[in-house]
Amino acid sequence: MFRLEHVDLGDVTVRVRHGGSGSPVVLLHGHPRTHTTWHAVARRLGEDFSVVTPDLRGYGESTLPPDEPDHAQSSKRAMAGDVVRLMDHLGHDRFAVVGHDRGALVAFRTAMDHPEAVSRLVVMDGLPLVEHLERTDERFARTWWHWWFLGQTEQPAERVICADPDAWYRTPDPAAMGEENHADVWRALRNPAVVHGMCEDYRAGLGIDRAHDEADRAAGRQVRCPMLLLQAARDDIDIHGDPVAIWRPWTAGGLEHRLIGSGHHQAEEAPDEVSAALRDFLS
């Protein structure tokens, strides 16, 4: 049985669904999803684990503090702090963290900033932000153009998106996504506050998040726990080359790699395969 609640963490209120029993694991969604993207995986993992699935701050029904000049309110460091405080509220002082897409950046930052709290790290289709930005070329800018559109501030993207979110966003139909997931995502995408929160996530990614990565690398800090990279076979996280080779200098606790037979949204497209991979690694 999973419970849905809103938890006041001080500067933000986080919507979270949690349940199951066993070792704790937190599942972090990416853009432009909410925690409901994990619906099929969470049910499967709940048989063996205590599963926690929050909305990231600014996404879904989680709130966002007022904007700061450097977008620090949407930094992955701030989001990682939310994860640790939420898990502490739920009675978990040490846990595994799994992140997909933008959630992968938060999961990575949680492991870097709070090594005492993170037992295992799973990154799904993600790299440290600095590794993307230092490799930016014409192909990356053309293919991942939304990073620059959402992240710039001269002509804020919110006005364009909110004018017609149904034309801007595309998702699979309810049968493919799951009806509750589909409805929840679309409620969020039609909410101007959520659109702003998502843009602020990308703005932080182009500035303060990169600075945090650069500082860690300069200081020689690495992920100290075991890490698993789940790579979608029909996605392009290898746009810069072998993602395992890019991740390896960042890891000190061991790095495993596994291909998932899906497109980008692994948890929705291949829940059985993702659940099996997570269960094997987390056990």
Q: Catalytic residues, which ones?
A: 101, 264
Helix (H) or strand (E) holding 52: strand 49-54
Q: Please, what is the end-to-end C-alpha distance for the chain in angstroms? A: 21
Residue 32, preceding bond cis, omega within 30 degrees? yes
DSSP 99-120: EETHHHHHHHHHHHH-TTTEEE
d(CA 240, CA 260): 19
H/E stretch holding 58: none
Helices then strands (H, E): number in the chain? 15, 8
Mark residue 107 as left, alpha or beta (left: phi above 0; alpha: psi -120 to 50; beta: remaining). Answer: alpha
Give the residue among 271, 267, 100, 269 at the shortest CA–CA distance from 176.
Answer: 269
Q: Which two tokens stand for residue 241?
A: 């080359």
- Judging by beta carbons within 10 Å of its beta carbon (0-12, 13-18, 19+), is residue 173 exposed, middle or buried? exposed
